Structure formats: structure tokens, C-alpha cells
């Protein structure tokens, strides 16, 4: 994170997205690609937040269902949601399936989490089009899923 010269608020390049009426964002630098809906397969006995996998560039990637953490209906086969974020984590590449992706915000100013607290790890929150969005720490969320597995 860096700070603006005239501000104490941290800034970060963010990619906002919508999921089930929630507005969230992730660090834009971890997003490798944004795709449309894709076929995926369920993995029997998989945890609800990682229900299956899809093929991408000759690899099988874990499909993450953030909707479960937001009390939304589960992702169902055979298609993902309208958009898929291919995300490069420190030790893996995964897919986050979302409803809509908005334009990236190169120097989004973050505030401490207050109104957008969804019980998820976050860098902070920001205001987008008069809505408060949670800046999700995707790496920390995936690590928490691994600890639960």
C-alpha cells in the first residue's frame, strides 16, 4: 500500500465487482484475466466455498464461491456466474465467480472497515458511485478456507 502525499488514507489499485447485490473489490494486481461464464464441474464432498474446478489454459483451477460467505445461494453446475476473475495468489491460481465486474480503480483511497463489514478479511472500504464497497483481502480469505478444510 502507498499513501497519497496529502492524505493519511492508504491507496490501492482495486477491481470492484458485484455479487448478489453486494459491492466488493479486490487488489487489481492479482487479477490475471476476466472471463465470461464457463462450464465447471462439482467435486464430491468439497467444501461449500470451493465447490469445484474449471479448465483454464490446460489447467484445472479451483472455483471459489464467495456467495456462500455472503449467505447467497450456492453456485450450481454447469455454468459459473456471469464473470470469472482468474486470480494469481502467492502459491496458486484460482477462479472467483461473480455477477458483474466494474472498471478498475488505479488509486482507490481506502478507509477503515465500518459500514461494509461482512465478516471477511479486508484492506478497508471505499465509496464507489455512492455505495460502500469492501476491499476484500482475497489471499487472506483463501488462506482461511484452507485452514477450515
Quote the distance between the C-alpha of residue 131 and its chain's center. Answer: 17
Digit-coded pLDDT (tens) for 100-132: 999 999 888 899 988 677 889 999 999 998 999
What is the domain range of residue 142? 2-148
- Residues with Cβ within 8 Å of residue 114, at least 6 apart in sequence: 125
Please choose, from the candidates 121, 120, 125, 77, the residue with its C-alpha nearest in 3D space to the C-alpha of residue 97.
Answer: 77
pTM of the entire predicted model: 0.90
Bridge-partner residues for 60, per DSSP?
Answer: 55
- What ranges in the chain are assigned the alpha helix state H? 138-148
Query: Does the structure show a pLDDT above 90 at 22?
Result: yes
Query: Does the structure show a pLDDT above 60 at 56?
Result: yes
**What is the domain count for the chain?**
1
Please choose, from the candidates 3, 28, 13, the residue with its C-alpha nearest in 3D space to the C-alpha of residue 106.
Answer: 13
> CATH number for the domain including 78?
2.40.50.180
What pLDDT score does 12 carry? 86
The cell numbers describing 88, all together, are: 494469481
Amino acid at each position: 500500500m502507498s499513501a497519497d502525499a496529502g492524505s493519511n488514507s492508504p491507496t490501492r489499485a482495486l477491481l470492484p465487482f458485484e455479487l448478489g447485490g453486494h459491492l466488493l473489490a479486490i487488489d487489481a494486481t492479482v487479477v490475471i484475466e476476466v472471463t465470461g461464464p464457463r462450464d465447471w464441474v462439482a467435486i464430491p464432498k468439497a467444501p461449500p466455498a470451493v465447490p469445484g474446478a474449471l479448465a483454464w489454459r490446460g489447467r484445472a483451477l479451483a472455483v471459489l464461491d464467495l456467495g456462500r460467505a455472503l449467505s447467497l445461494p450456492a453456485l450450481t453446475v454447469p455454468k459459473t456466474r456471469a464473470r470469472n476473475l482468474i486470480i494469481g495468489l502467492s502459491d496458486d491460481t484460482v477462479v472467483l465467480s461473480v455477477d458483474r465486474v466494474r472498471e478498475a480503480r488505479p488509486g482507490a483511497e481506502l478507509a477503515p472497515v465500518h459500514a461494509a463489514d461482512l465478516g471477511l478479511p479486508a484492506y478497508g472500504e471505499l465509496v464507489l458511485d455512492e455505495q460502500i464497497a469492501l476491499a476484500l483481502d482475497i489471499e487472506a480469505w483463501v488462506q482461511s478456507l484452507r485452514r477450515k478444510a
